[in-house]
Amino acid sequence: MDSTISLGQKNTLTEYMILSGANNRPPMLDKDLYDSWKSRMELYIQNREHERMILESVKHGPLIWPTVEENGVIRTKKYAELSATEKIQADYDMKATNIILQGLPVDIYSLVNHHRVTKDLWERVQLLMQGTSLTKQERECKLYDTFDKCTHIKGESMHTYYLRFTQLINDMNIYKMKMEQFQVNTKFLNSLPPEWSKFVTDVKLVKDLHTSNFDQLHAYLEQHELHANEVRLMRERNQDPLAFVANQQMTPPHFNTYQSSYNNPQLQL
């Protein structure tokens, strides 16, 4: 018995979404950056199985279900009567709608979730965004401001910081916002917290910031993440007064004398 459920057997689009599922979530729409979202959504679709069928549904509409004549009456074929290729296209029409809906914030979702055809849904979102999105100049100002304020978040791994920075630069590239390679590289390095300072200095010595890209800088720095984390933990322990007192109590007297001598050159004479 064919366990696949056709569109006519379900009442709500939410049920279709639950049925089709997803391996991971598509990019979420930022209403001020619609063009960026559209570009990332298309790339996301192209990375899915049967991506050609999904894109076909988005850009040209779903499968036109064939008909059959039965007792002198023409009717639309049931799902079980479709060819293997037609069944796949019908399934991916549903998946295409699911992908678009999962990438929408709640307020936009509530305006378009009655659309059952992916092409209509895609075009409706575009129409809404054309009416509410910022002008190109305003978008660029917002992205430059985000670039200026971008910094490493405490507790964030090097790879997560790199991915977040990469997405920002990609958004700026979509709007053809040109920046010097040196400017981008310097921002990437100087936005790292103090525990990275030694490794940032090292990378500046071995890499030409005018010709390297921040992907290469990330690859170099990521090799030293364990050491950077150790530096951070040591600094945090020393900043804790109770931990500092406990550490002093455990330190041998001759070590403190050595430290004092090291820190005061006059004592070494």
Q: Helices in 47-180 by DSSP H: which ranges?
A: 51-60, 84-102, 106-112, 118-132, 136-149, 158-174
Q: Are residues 84 and 108 in the same domain?
A: yes
**Range of 11's domain?**
7-132
Sign of CA dihedral 202, 207, 213, 218: negative
Give the residue ranges of the chain where pLDDT is below 70.
1-23, 131-135, 240-269
Residue 26 shares a structural domain with residue 111: yes
Residue 246 lies in a domain: no
Count H helices, E strands: the chain?
14, 2
Cα–Cα distances in Å, from 183 out to 73, 151, 197?
70, 14, 18
Residues 125, 31 share a domain: yes
Please state the domain count of the chain. Answer: 2
Structural tokens at position 108: 């936009």
Contact 30, 129 (CB under 8 A): no
222 and 107 housed in the same domain: no
2 contacts 84 by C-beta, under 8 angstroms: no
User: Is the pTM for the entire model greater than 0.75?
Assistant: no
**Tokens (6 digits) for 150:** 């971008």
Give me the pLDDT at residue 141, please. Answer: 87
Name the packing angle between helices 34-46 and 118-132 (round to 10°). 160
